[in-house]
Structure 1
């Protein structure tokens, strides 16, 4: 087994970099959705939601950078073109979303896709003894599960 410069199996790190690039693509679409609903939200809840969506896109922007830097740490190259993001993203596209419930539902649906990818990466990073990636995924999952719960509570729906 060949080890990379941080002492991890080089082949497993390469595979994790690919999974992280998939996550990166999905986070970029999620981020763009959040920007769109932040800009376009209308209605009586505008002031509260406008601020909340900004909070969420700021957080997503930080996570995008963290994922890209983890890819680099593992020896990979982060994808950075819209073409790459479109090709590798399953997060739904939210185009011209102006209604509050539609916006919140878009967030919930997007986070569901991110959580599926993150859990897959969590398992793979555990098998690769990659504590750095594993810890990051664990933190992301914990935060996003709470956000889903809060969004579902706002929608008055069961988790």
Structure 2
């Protein structure tokens, strides 16, 4: 049985929501990998704080990746797992070679701007087709990211 038959959502109404979720999945995968690199390579006087913070951030992103993939499955769509396709699709690009907080933190801010804009767009599209579950998931993501944005803004002040 098709899960959409149970939930009452219509596949033909979900096209834009699914496109957004597929892009978000790709963006989150690249963001996760970038955070791992920042965690491994950060240096300087704030090393201990940032090393620990980046680990917390990438753990949270890993959970979001799983949640988006599972939401796609609930919408009867197979999530992409091939990294070559993910890299081609993602609006967030791989970053390497950054070691200082002065270069890493602005890169994370740029990524958060991309993610939050996309999540707000998904909320809008999901709301239009009464996909309240996707709206709730995206809203939860924004709560955590806005708190992280506050942390990042404070560190950059």
TM over 0.5: yes
Instruction: Choose between structure 1 and 2: higher helix proportion.
Output: 2
TM-score normalised by length of structure 1: 0.92
Query: Number of aligned pairs?
Result: 154
How far apart are residue 144 of structure 1 and its match? 0.8
Structure 2 runs not aligned, ≥5 long: none
Q: Distance in 1 between matches of 2:13 and 2:139?
A: 19
How far apart are residue 24 of structure 1 and its match? 0.2
TM-score normalised by length of structure 2: 0.93
Q: Distance in 2 between matches of 1:92 and 1:107?
A: 11
Structure 1 runs not aligned, ≥5 long: none
| Kept in 2: contact 1:43–1:99 (CA 8 A) | yes
Superposition RMSD in Å: 1.3
Q: Secondary structure at the match of 1:52?
A: helix
* Match status 1:45 vs 2:27: no
| Kept in 2: contact 1:71–1:78 (CA 8 A) | yes
Q: Distance in 2 between matches of 1:76 and 1:141?
A: 23
Where does structure 1 differ by over 6 angstroms across 4 or more consecutive aligned residues? none
Q: Which residue of the partner structure matches residue 131 of structure 1?
A: 132
Q: Which residue of the partner structure matches residue 80 of structure 1?
A: 81
